Structure 1
Amino acid sequence: MIRAAETATHPSSALPRFSEDWALFLDVDGSLLDIADHPEAVSADRQLVESLGKLRSRLCGALALISGRPLKELDCLFAPLHLPAAGQHGLERRMANGRLLPGLELPQGFAEVEARLALFVDRHAELFLERKSHGLAVHYRKAPELEQEVLALAEALAQTSRPPLHLLRGKMVAELRVPGHDKGTAIADFMKERPFAGRCPVFVGDDVTDEDGFETVNALGGHAILVGDRPSAARWSVGSAAGLRTWLAELAGLDPPEDKCDRTL
């Protein structure tokens, strides 16, 4: 059942105690990184990249990014790290051994949906159409007054493809995507594989699009952590992306344990 998460007044005041048996899954925009007006106007600083690298080593490789962004964008943001990751809300996935899993076929009519969205966006300079291999996202952060018009068009266009596209509502964005996967299924799939299998899943996210992931880790007996303050299935919270980065840096700075990792992956 979704309930209001606690609001942290200190970066680690309402967060679970770190354990080396975690499998850590991290959303990117709004969680690791502050949301910007344009998807390309974000960057990961060196300290965050170093923190993620150290944490991945502490967790024997059991750290993955779970994002709405395509994998290629995640690799650019967090270079030189090449992390296990699920992109496009689970429609793309790279395993810990580097293997890329095949994506789903595009539904009939996808190109027509893209063309009609592009025509609509071209009439409104404040809107931005983000084209992905398996999804189309209309960002209206600069034109919140167009929200209902954007959502109505997206909902109508979703039904014109075969099979219908899935409409995903996020923070000032409406995304039409190929159905079949979400952040929850991505986490569940990772948890069946080394080095994640047998560990305690922990997922950090901020948006309503992260609730599938929260529900999955709750069902697996793990920890769901909300960045922000809103009704959520998450049982833990941190107030902001900056607070999360501070917490991760604290965890990365802990004295490393003896090497107990299986390096045969």
Structure 2
Amino acid sequence: MLDDLQRPPPPALAADDALFLDVDGTLLAFADHPDKVAPDPSLLTLLASVQQRLDGALALLSGRPVSQLQAMFAPLRLPMAGLHGAQLLATPNAQFADSDSDTAVWLHALHQRAMQLLHAHPGVLIENKGQALALHWRNAPQAGQAVIAFAKAQLPQLSGVRLQPGNHVIEFVGSGHDKGRALQTLMQRAPFKGRRPLFVGDDLTDEHGFAAAQQLGGIGVLVGQRENSQANCALPDINAVHAWLRAAIT
């Protein structure tokens, strides 16, 4: 692990690289509600150009559901992993549909218990993702410790579930999935196979991706500053990420 001041900027993106991008906090700024976040047309155009430059080896790795990512980035089609790798769309034109059968069996009772937490701490947001449940306290920063304590207290009752901390959020997710495993899976398939992987992310949820990219001879790029990150390169903010991407197509 490198100190923030020791992390250099990433090298220029090469045409034979494979690029994996987190979404919130990396490509798009956070908002007070996840539904209020959306890319503008210029970002979609930029990503389409980078996708073409890399012969399709560009994927999104996000905590959002795949269906939500598809709607957000339409008409652009990309391979993507949603819910921290629990959902995988390996090719851009593959069909993916959420259904009632995708809802985790443990989630309903947990959601009800979380509602009691919400009533005790106004401003806390519950985000039900079907196979994951996120508790946000961005709008109630004073409730952070209570939310974390609640989440830790629930875990012994949930089999096959782990906690994923993030930026003003903690999530209940399936223990068999993370962004690193999603990256490794995609790297076994065309057009990613045989390329140098670069994963760009900002949050604790992205640490698995940094580690996986570097294990495969690639690069982990942290957006912003954070101690004890496994990333070996860094960019200061979202604008710097966009500038780095633009440099790859000029």
Q: How many equivalent residue pairs?
A: 247
- One-letter amino acid of the structure 2 residue matched with residue 4 of structure 1: D
Is residue 2:25 matched to residue 1:26?
no
2:11 — aligned with what?
16
- Render the CA deviation track for 1:67-105: whole Å, top value 9, x for unaligned: 001111111221111210000000001012533689997
Q: TM-score, normalised by structure 2?
A: 0.92
Picking from 123, 138, 143, the partner of 1:141 is: 138
Task: Tell me the residue number matched to 1:246.
Answer: 243
**As a proportion of its length, which structure holds more helix?**
2
State whether structure 2 residue 36 is matched by structure 1 residue 41.
yes
Q: Secondary structure at the match of 2:30?
A: coil
Runs (5+) with no aligned partner, structure 2: none
SS of 2:157's partner is coil
- Using the alignment, how far apart are the partners of 2:73 and 2:162 within structure 1? 28
User: Hey, what does 2:86 align to over in structure 1?
Assistant: 91
Deviations 1:204-263 (A, max 9, x none): 0000110100000111110111100112111111100111112212323x2xxxxxxxxx
Distance 1:164 1:75 in 2: 27
Q: Does 1:188 align with 2:218?
A: no
SS of the residue 1:40 aligns to: helix
Give me the whole-angstrom Cα distance separating, in 2, the residues matched to 1:50 and 1:129: 32
Deviates more, 1:118-127 or 1:201-210: 118-127
Take 1:72 and 1:126, find their aligned partners in 2: how far apart are those partners?
Answer: 26
Give the distance between the partners of 1:174 and 1:128, measured in 2 at CA. 11
Q: Where in structure 2 are the equivalents of 1:1-265 lying within 5 Å?
A: 2-6=1-5, 14-96=9-91, 98-99=93-94, 108-161=105-158, 163-231=159-227, 232-252=229-249, 254=250
| 48 and 24 in structure 1: CA distance in 2 versus 1, 3 angstrom threshold | same
Report the residue type matching 2:3 in the other structure. Answer: A
Report percent identity of matched pairs.
38
- Secondary structure of residue in 2 paired with 1:218: helix
Deviation of residue 118 (structure 1)? 2.0
SS at match of 1:17: coil
CA distance, structure 1, for counterparts of residue 150 and residue 71 of structure 2: 32
Question: Is the Cα–Cα contact under 8 Å of residues 25 and 66 in structure 1 kept in the other structure?
Answer: yes
Give me the TM-score of the superposition, normalised by structure 1: 0.87
